């Protein structure tokens, strides 16, 4: 959750060094004293919406917590023998290019990003380390105490490093290490290896498939995914590895907020999913994809659809669907927590630009949301100022997003004939700390354009 904020890195630091880095020690102390640490802002935002965050989930589930609290030194140092759980997202290799993802997290995104911006800035393939053999050695050293590994990516099932680590576990006869995956579930084979044959040898495997919607909707949101293949993979997994626990981990966004309850119900009824096997992630950024941008009538529909689903789950499964029910309750709470309709113009702009590159049409795939994608890209007069205030109140808003919001506000003030307010917003946009140089130049160009139009015109 803190990936873009931390300075710690496997380049130049080992896992035990990161475990006791200045940042992590401070984080431990802050957590012990219930002080908010900036690395955790995303979790705090989820908690503010009364939903379960990664932080609270682990705090509630980890039974070893009390023991290690007692062993934490006053400066936050903790013996690395407690490093029993790894979450490894070691490369951005991925076959998909999900709408809300980016080329930092997916090699699949690289070409689209270059077409969108004219310059991707970074190389296509990114890895967390230049020295995988060294990292494998560190993992071998941790092997005696290791209890869990969570593999992410990119896409772990097409990543060589993931297969290397499984071989390390097998060579050390650690088939008892709990494996869990966040995967797009498109490929069960890679480089001549069949992951199901490997999973058969481990006792405890849990797969969380990132599936947002069925059929063409799923294929639109998660470009590169083949829905028929996903269903075949699900059936093969049930047949060949019945011991593998299967969950879905959809990302709740504006695109699937209306249809997610039906998708979940359908998979329960098909027997592809058991109750309590949804790990619903809430999308925070890019902000224009948040479900909170839905206009009031669509938000009401999405909320009603979640509530009907909650009723169905309670009636059909009772307490055994407790986690599913609470996931959909969290979705409702989050949707209702803020009005971000001011972002509809931005959603339109992003969607139309990507549709043009991918030769797709949002409104053909999501006719019920067609009004969101059609129309002008500029913020409309209909966007209430309170909605901008809600957006700017987000602590997690990136500096670039914040600056863009001030410029959009400047445009609104200009359209409403309030030049002083417009100039004030432009000044706020350009005063943002932490703006990357190329974004700053873009913002300056846009600011200049607005300023020119604000200046009194010479008499004809
Ligand atoms: S599957 Fe994951 S890493 Fe790949 S594009 Fe989608 S969100 Fe990004």
List the domain boundaries for the chain: 1-82, 83-348, 398-460
In the predicted model, is pLDDT for residue 383 greater than 60?
yes
From 193-197, 283-287, 434-438, the region with the lowest mean pLDDT: 434-438
pLDDT (mean) for 315-323: 95
C-beta 223 within 6 A of ligand 1? no
- Cβ partners under 8 Å of residue 279, min gap 6: 208, 247, 248, 249, 327
Q: Which of the two residues, 281 and 67, has the higher pLDDT score?
A: 281
CB 140 within 8 A of CB 115: no
Tens of pLDDT along 62-105?
666 777 888 999 999 999 999 999 999 999 999 999 999 999 89
Arithmetic mean of pLDDT over the chain: 91
At residue 122, the pLDDT reads: 83
pLDDT digit string, tens, across residues 101-135: 999 899 999 999 999 888 767 889 999 999 999 99
pLDDT at 322 over 90: yes
CA 326 to chain centre: 19
Lowest mean pLDDT among 4-13, 103-112, 114-123, 282-291: 114-123
Backbone angles phi, psi at 435, to 5 degrees: -85, 130
Other Cβ atoms less than 10 A from the Cβ of 42: the count is: 21
Q: Tell me the average pLDDT across 33-54.
A: 84
Q: Provide the pLDDT for residue 440.
A: 81
The answer on pLDDT for 365 being more than 60 is yes
pLDDT of residue 233: 98
- What's the CA-to-centroid distance between 110 and ligand 1, angstroms? 12
Q: Kindly report, residue by residue over 390-409, the tens digit of the pLDDT.
A: 899 888 788 888 998 999 89
Q: What does the pLDDT read at residue 376?
A: 62
Cα 97 to ligand 1 centroid, rounded to whole Å: 6
Q: Does the C-beta of 97 come closer than 6 Å to ligand 1? A: yes
The whole-number pLDDT of residue 432 equals 83
Residue 456 has pLDDT above 80, yes or no: no
- 379 Cβ inside 6 Å of ligand 1: no
Q: Give the pLDDT score at 437.
A: 75
> Which two three-digit tokens encode residue 8?
């710690």
C-alpha span between 7 and 344 (Å, rounded): 34
pLDDT at 62: 67
More confident of the two residues 54 and 88? 88
222 lines ligand 1 (CB under 6 A): yes
Residue nearest to atom 8 of ligand 1 (CA): 101
Ligand 1 centroid to residue 259 C-alpha, Å: 20
Judge contact between 126 and 65, C-beta under 8 A: no
pLDDT band at 455 (very low <50, low <70, confident <90, very high): low
pLDDT at 381 over 60: no
Which residue's alpha carbon is at the smallest distance from atom 3 of ligand 1? Answer: 154
CATH class of 83-348: alpha beta
> 263 CA distance to ligand 1 centroid (A)?
20
> Whose alpha carbon is nearest atom 5 of ligand 1?
97
CB 155 less than 6 A from any atom of ligand 1: yes
**pLDDT at position 60 over 90:** no
Q: Which atom of ligand 1 is nearest to the CA of 225?
A: 1
The pLDDT of residue 27 is 95
Query: Poorest-confidence range of 25-34, 41-50, 402-411?
Result: 41-50
Ligand 1 probe mutation, 89, 94, 230, most atoms within 8 A of CB? 94
Work out the percent of the chain whose per-residue pLDDT is above 90. 69
Residue 143 is predicted with a pLDDT of 96
pLDDT at 384 over 60: yes
Q: So what's the pLDDT on residue 306?
A: 98
377/346 Cα distance (integer angstroms)? 7
**Tokens coding 32:** 């012990």
Q: Is the shortest distance between the CB of 98 and ligand 1 below 6 Å?
A: yes
Pick from 49-63, 162-176, 346-360: least confident: 49-63
Whether the predicted pLDDT of 279 surpasses 70: yes
Kindly tell me if the per-residue pLDDT of 240 is higher than 90.
Answer: yes
Question: Which numbered atom of ligand 1 lies nearest the CA of 92?
Answer: 3
pLDDT greater than 60 at residue 380: no
Specify the pLDDT at position 382: 58
Res 270: pLDDT: 96
For the segment 258-287, the average pLDDT, to the nearest whole number, is 95
Task: Read off the pLDDT of each residue in 8-13 and give the average, rounded to a whole number.
Answer: 92
Q: Measure 96 CA to ligand 1 centroid, in angstroms.
A: 6
Q: Is the CB of 105 under 6 A from ligand 1?
A: yes
DSSP state, 82? Answer: G
The per-residue pLDDT for 343 is 93
96 lines ligand 1 (CB under 6 A): yes
- Tens-place pLDDT, residues 194-203: 999 999 999 9
| 215 contacts: CB under 8 Å, gap ≥ 6 | 227
Ligand 1 pocket member 157 (CB < 6 A):
no
State whether the beta carbon of 402 lies less than 6 angstroms from ligand 1.
Answer: no
Distance (Å) from CA 152 to ligand 1 centroid: 10
Percent of the chain topping pLDDT 70? 96
Q: How far is CA 418 from CA 121, 362, 399, 403, 409, in A?
A: 38, 35, 25, 19, 11
pLDDT at 234 over 60: yes
How far is 280 from 327, CA to CA, in rounded Å? 6
> Which position has the higher pLDDT, 409 or 57?
409
Q: Ligand 1 centre from 102 Cα, in Å?
A: 8
């Amino acid at each position: 959750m803190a990936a873009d904020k931390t300075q710690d890195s496997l380049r130049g630091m080992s896992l035990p060094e990161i475990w006791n880095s200045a940042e992590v020690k401070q984080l431990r102390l802050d957590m012990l004293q219930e002080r908010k640490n900036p690395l955790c802002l995303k979790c705090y935002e989820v908690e503010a919406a009364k939903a379960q965050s990664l932080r609270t989930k682990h705090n509630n589930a980890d039974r070893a917590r009390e023991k290690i609290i007692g062993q934490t030194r006053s400066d936050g140092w903790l013996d690395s023998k407690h490093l029993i759980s790894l979450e490894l997202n070691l490369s951005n290799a991925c076959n998909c290019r999900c709408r809300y993802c980016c080329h930092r997290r997916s090699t699949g995104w690289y070409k689209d990003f270059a077409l969108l911006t004219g310059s991707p800035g970074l190389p296509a393939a990114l890895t967390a380390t230049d020295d995988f053999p060294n990292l494998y050695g560190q993992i071998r050293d941790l092997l005696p105490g290791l209890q869990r590994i969570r593999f992410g990516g990119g896409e772990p099932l097409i990543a060589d490093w993931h297969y290397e680590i499984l071989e390390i576990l097998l060579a050390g006869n650690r088939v008892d290490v709990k494996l869990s995956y966040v995967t797009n579930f498109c490929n069960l084979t890679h480089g001549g290896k069949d992951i199901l044959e490997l999973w058969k040898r481990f006792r405890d495997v849990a797969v969380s498939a990132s599936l947002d919607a069925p059929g063409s909707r799923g294929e639109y949101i998660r470009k590169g995914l083949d829905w028929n293949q996903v269903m075949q993979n699900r059936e093969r997994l049930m047949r060949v590895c019945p011991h593998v626990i299967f969950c879905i981990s959809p990302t709740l966004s504006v695109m699937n907020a209306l249809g997610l309850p039906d998708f979940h119900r359908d998979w329960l009824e098909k027997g592809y999913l058991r109750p309590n096997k949804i790990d619903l992630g809430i999308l925070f950024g890019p902000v224009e994809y948040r479900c909170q941008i839905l206009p009031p009538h669509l938000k009401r529909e999405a909320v009603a659809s979640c509530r009907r689903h909650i009723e169905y789950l309670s009636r059909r499964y009772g307490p055994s669907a407790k986690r599913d029910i609470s996931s959909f309750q969290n979705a409702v709470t989050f949707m209702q927590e803020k009005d971000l309709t001011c972002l509809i113009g931005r959603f339109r702009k992003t969607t139309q630009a990507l549709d043009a590159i991918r030769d797709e049409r949002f409104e053909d795939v999501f006719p019920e949301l067609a009004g969101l994608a059609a129309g002008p890209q500029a913020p409309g007069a209909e966007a209430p100022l309170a909605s901008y205030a809600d957006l700017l109140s987000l602590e997690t808003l990136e500096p670039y997003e914040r600056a863009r919001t001030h410029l959009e506000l400047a445009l609104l003030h200009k359209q409403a004939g309030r030049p002083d307010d417009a100039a004030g917003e432009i000044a706020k946009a350009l005063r943002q700390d932490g703006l990357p140089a190329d974004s700053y130049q873009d913002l300056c160009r846009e600011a200049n354009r607005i300023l020119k139009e604000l200046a009194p015109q010479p008499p004809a």
